[in-house]
Structure 1
Amino acid sequence: MLANAEVARDFLVLGQHYKELVASLLASLEMPATPLQVAPTKRGNFPGFDPSQIYLIEQGSLAVRYHDRTLYLLEEGDLLLPDIAGGREEAAMVQYSSDIGATLNAYPALEFMHRVYRDPAATRQWTRILVTYAGLALRVAAAHTPADAETTPGFELYEAGQDIIRQGEYGDYVFHMSSGTAEVLVDSVVVGRIGQGEIFGAMAALTHAERSATVRAKTTCSVAKVPKEQFTELIKRNPATIHSLLVDMANAIVNLNQQLVSLRK
């Protein structure tokens, strides 16, 4: 297996071990194979691909693609294990193609598995192959994943009545309510509430402006504090954080509007 990204040296060692396990298993099964010549294929599965077969790459290589992204390459000595967990829609399927062509040996998957599970030694070997394959796939996934932002939040406990942030102060932190509830006050008037799981204090931290409101604990609150620099990096890398922030801001605006309507009555 060849990763389509920079990987650690242990990936190469594990890949060689994987091929040795595959070769040993196939030798013990003594199962006849059907040779298949694969022509160069840029998109979609190669002609003749059959998801009911297990393939061994004898020569050349195959690209493993998902959502139009090449995840890794299968090379000589690797097994192609069809993605039987995927959906029927083409966009949701793992696909196998080859830029240069390849020579494969095909084994009927059902007969292959019957032979494996008839022999306890082969079963143990097959288990080792699957575990090793999973280790390779995990390393490929890690190589394709950007390094996480190193957020080092501090946790603080606030008793009911204590101010978590104060109106008019400058914000160096963004907060996440781990547990408890708090009230939002503008000029000492309650204009909203913050509950468990909500992010608050982001606007002042991101815009370098003064805090527009005071947040005061209504019950005992456990709050995570993230430095604004690290929070900025986090939202660049994690769209889910942006979504959560937008939802919380929208809720805050709705609550503020409701309070304004109540004050006008």
Structure 2
Amino acid sequence: MWLGRSSSCAPVEARTVLCSILPQFNNHSQQDAQELLLLLSSTLHDDLKKVGRCKIRFSKHQLRRDQHRNCASTLGESTIVTKLFEGQLSYMTVCMQCDHQAHSMQTFTVLSLPIPTNTSKCSIQDCLSLFFEQTLLTGADKMLCSACELRRETAVLTCLDKPPEILILHLKRFGCKGKNQVKLRTNVVFSMKLDLSLFLSSSEQNTSYSSYRLYAVVNHAGQLNMGHYTALCHNTLTQTWHCFDDSEVREIPDSHVQSADAYILLYSRKPFRKPKIVGL
């Protein structure tokens, strides 16, 4: 695709390969774009790790033992997928009885954001604030306090410890109304620029480190079990937006990017740079 040897690129071949690896998508039923994105990135990461290990084995006779160990550590677990998409959340739990604190970390590639209830319109900042707000675990959710050695009511504080290069925000549009699952049609207003400084841990309070620009949107139109996906993508070289709707690709004005059908938002932290690929 980057070499541009043809005027267009149909993703049929990529889908065929994908379905051979992930057979659950080898049908024409309604599928979830966020689930596909997670499985695709995970599968690509696993394959790239295998390539890294092969390189290590190939070069082991040329490296001293300590160099080989460092190479294995770097190539074995880190890939372009983790470097671009992986971020880290920090959790602090506080026992409401003795104030004992405990810290833990969790990596992520997609942030699934809750949508505020009882409203027809909100902002992406509202969804982020709801995700990062302090929660209190009570009743059956009480946590075991290592200091008290008893299950206690626990406050949980979440913050962003390491922002990813590419931030993927997934809007949790599928909820329950009574006993029925429904699609939440709340119009989530998002901006071209996003600042995450309010949600960073104290060690990462750096505005330039938390400023993002929108470059793609996945829309879902329709019902819970029947609908249609389209994608909006920004071309940084031409500074234009395009809508990808099956075989139809058309340029759209910036004003058409905002939509109540938005399902996945993709933000980039760094300005786009043309990749250095031989022949490009």
- TM-score band by shorter chain is under 0.3
* TM-score, with length taken from structure 2: 0.18
* TM-score, with length taken from structure 1: 0.19
Higher relative contact order (CA 8 A, sep 6+): 1
Larger Rg: 1
